A and B are shown apart, each in its own frame.
Chain A
Amino acid sequence: MQTETQTMLSHSISAMLDKHQPSDRLREGLAATNLWGALVELGLAGAEIPEAFGGLGLSFTDIAPMFEDLGRGLATTCYLEFAVMGTWLLHASDNLVAHGLLAGAATGDTRAVLTFSEFGSAGDPAFARTSATATAAGWSLNGAKSVVVGGSLATHLLVPAMQDGKLALFLVPADAPGVTRHSLQLYDASSAADITLDNACVAASHLLARGEQASALITLALDRARAALCHEAVGLMAAVHDLTLDYVKSRKQFGQPIGAFQTMQHRLATMFMDLELCRSAADVATSAAQHSATPQQRMQAVSAAMVTLCQCARNIGQSAVQAHGGIALTREYQAGHYFKRLTMIERYLGTGDDHLERYIALAS
């Protein structure tokens, strides 16, 4: 059952996306239409920021389901990066400098991204090679962060780095000396940046967390993002399932709609089952991100959801293409773009293999 807040958010997202239909945005080129600005206009940049800091004071369970609407509308927003991970970390870090940024984050003018990935770290900050050393003025950071989604639009970077052999989290203005960003366009129409830190210097107060506390914060930020990603995937899957269902009903071969063939019926039925499983997986992950008694329980629940999601996203994406035939592989038609985003989601915050491994490790 949806709460009143969830229903209201869902309605405003749908209304916004009515004005930015995927078909229109495909014509303009999806990459050119990042809808972050539209979400800011709806006042959602600071959805989870407490009212005292200028936000709406909503909970994660309030906002997570609206990702389904974003997915349905094939919306590229960076909301996951800026709000669910970035802004939440600024608030959760309990650091005065970070808290000073929340008012700007609530208006969307401040955009922080968690640079969780380094080449070879398998998306896990515990394997970060970026290092932080103490200087007279504060900290000096060295390393490279790879394919940071939203990285080219961010005003601040949340940088996991190893300090004295322990993980720590630093707040680095994106225009700090020693920070270089190199923009990349990704196949799902989002934009990213490779970021190098070459003696990037920040004040001592920019250390947000270290050791266990840093790991716990970063892991929770990523698990929240995974839960939101599950909801987005549900929206994408529902939309591409609808497209496919319409197609097999109208496409005729051998004198009948191809949906009359049992092989197609079974394919669509399997897609439908996958979709329903992912709805449950999204609920499991969101509830775990918000309410789990222990981090272990949360991580295990989220990984269970992600294992399900990765498999179903792959099945549904590939099945949608197969049922359509060649048309789904053309740039002009929507289905292929849903397939691309689902393909990205399958890998973005850990692959199915990664999450299965994490699940097993937590169970033993």
Chain B
Amino acid sequence: MAFDYSPQDLQFADDVRAFIQANLDAGVRKKILSGMLPTRSEREKWQKSLYARGWAAPSWPVEFGGTGWTVVQRHIFDEVLTEEGAPGFPVFGMSMLAPVLMRFGTERQKREILPAILTMDDFWCQGFSEPGAGSDLAGVRSTARLEDGFWIINGQKIWTTLAHEANKIFVLVRTSVAEKKQLGLSILLLAMDTPGITVRPIITIDNHHEVNEVFFDDVRVPAENIIGEEGLGWTYAKFLLGHERTSIARIGQSRRELKRLIATASTIPWRDGMVSQAPWFKRRHAQIEIRHRILEATTLRLLAMVAEGGKPGSEANLLKIHGSEVQQDLAELWMDVVGEYGFAYGQDAIADIGEMVPWEANYVAGSYFNSRKLSIYGGSNEIQRNIIAKSALGL
């Protein structure tokens, strides 16, 4: 590891690893390592075992159920979880909605909503993007009007991750007409089974169903299901997306992939030797490893700054860009490592052909196609560069 961890930190990493190995289902682990999605019940089971151990939300303050760990411990925890193939945290609820509620929500909202995120009894999705509002999120056109103590929501959301598995959604909607399009927006909270909500699947080119369109047709929610003040939704959304970006570099996942690539490459024949000995493999693997190493150092530098009470500037944008590119380079290298079997995506039949073909070959092409979203979502890399140019460089 690039960081000088203390003996206590290393012991902590061992404890976390032991816990995962004792509690994580082997089938779920394999699924995640192959780039497939765990089901909601698999996620929930894992989240509940973390909850039982008191590790359900390390990023939260202790008063809400956090762990009180140091920044370094939290980093180690995330990294070991990812390396071991544990399901990711339910980010939309835990890392996006929760921080906003803690800062801007009512006492009742905190009391009622936060505990169910910890246990994953509630699984939240995020209704932000619309067909006409992607990079330009303030272009949201879905509306909600107040009528007899209820918000009546109409409109459409798109790219809504896991809307088909979530039971709750927070949506960014236009609640009043304002001169500036960033004003007049609000965030509303609702249950997915509210009458008038329709979820339509979007199948992606890797044949996965992860994202959806969500339609709202006169959907009624009680007036109090709003975050903070009416019309300030844009401020809350920006706060919330800031939390998305710091976790988006996925250092642990890339480290895991770097290790797995070496392990797999040393089992695949290439000419008279193995792929791991091929000059092109060594060169490209080293290039990615170096970039990852410096990215990790950058992450830790940023975390240290936060720990000392500093406010991260455009570093989060930088992490998003580099983190997504490292992951995309890894996905590309995987394609070349498995050779022609990478062409036969999603064919469990490959397993019958011979022991030489690694099972990952079934998934690498899908993972590669899927990896292209990383530079698009969470604010495209173009938008990230715009932010750096504007806020860090004053251009």
Contact = CB atoms under 8 A, between A and B. Distances in A.
Contacts of B365: 187, 343
B204 interface: yes
Interface residues of A, number: 49
Interface stretch (B112-120, B131-139, B147-155, B183-191): B131-139
B380 A325 contact: yes
Interface string A213-228: 0000000000000000
A31 to B, nearest CB: 12
B312 interface: no
Interface stretch (A46-54, A67-75, A91-99, A114-122): A114-122
Nearest to A258: B135
B385 A122 contact: no
B271 A120 contact: yes
B340 A117 contact: yes
A263 B102 CA distance: 37
Given A119-B340, A120-B356, A326 B280 contact: no
Output the residue of B340, B352, B353, B382 with the most chain A CB within 10 A: B340
B136 A192 contact: no
Nearest to A351: B336
Contact of A122 (B335, B339, B347, B369): B339
Output the residue of B133, B204, B343, B346 with the most chain A CB within 10 A: B343
A329 B372 contact: yes
A274 interface: no
B79 to A, nearest CB: 28
Interface in B247-294: 268-272, 279-280, 284
Contact of B382 (A182, A263, A344, A348): A263
Interface in A295-318: 314, 318
A337 to B, nearest CB: 7
A254 to B, nearest CB: 5
A105 B113 CA distance: 70
B391 interface: no
Nearest to B279: A357
Output the residue of A144, A185, A261 with the most chain B CB within 10 A: A185
Nearest to A188: B343
B255 to A, nearest CB: 24
- Interface of A (DSSP majority class): mixed
A252 B366 CA distance: 30
A184 interface: yes
A120 B339 contact: yes
Nearest to B275: A120
A331 interface: yes
Contact of B340 (A144, A146, A332, A354): A146
Contacts of A322: 372, 375-376, 380-381
A187 B372 contact: no
A304 B353 CA distance: 34
A329 B373 contact: yes
B272 to A, nearest CB: 7
A330 interface: yes
A185 B341 CA distance: 11
Contact of B134 (A144, A184, A253): A253
A121 B271 contact: yes
Contact of A336 (B132, B205, B349): B205
A347 B337 CA distance: 11
Nearest to B347: A184
B270 A347 contact: no
Contacts of A253: 133-136, 139
B309 interface: no
B71 interface: no
B341 A186 contact: no
B37 to A, nearest CB: 15
B13 to A, nearest CB: 36
Contact of A325 (B284, B344, B347, B376): B376
Output the residue of B284, B353, B377 with the most chain A CB within 10 A: B353
Given A186-B345, A253-B135, A337-B205, 13 more contacts: A120-B356, A123-B339, A144-B353, A146-B340, A147-B344, A184-B350, A185-B344, A187-B343, A325-B134, A326-B377, A331-B204, A331-B205, A339-B372
Interface of B: 129, 132-136, 139, 158-159, 202-205, 207, 211, 268-272, 279-280, 284, 332, 335-336, 339-347, 349-350, 352-354, 356-357, 365-366, 368-370, 372-373, 375-377, 380-382, 385
Closest 5 A/B residue pairs (Cβ): A120-B269, A353-B280, A253-B136, A147-B340, A336-B205
26 contacts: A121-B271, A122-B270, A127-B272, A146-B340, A147-B340, A185-B347, A186-B345, A187-B344, A187-B366, A263-B382, A263-B385, A314-B332, A321-B372, A322-B380, A326-B211, A328-B372, A329-B204, A329-B373, A331-B205, A336-B205, A339-B205, A340-B205, A347-B335, A347-B342, A347-B343, A353-B336
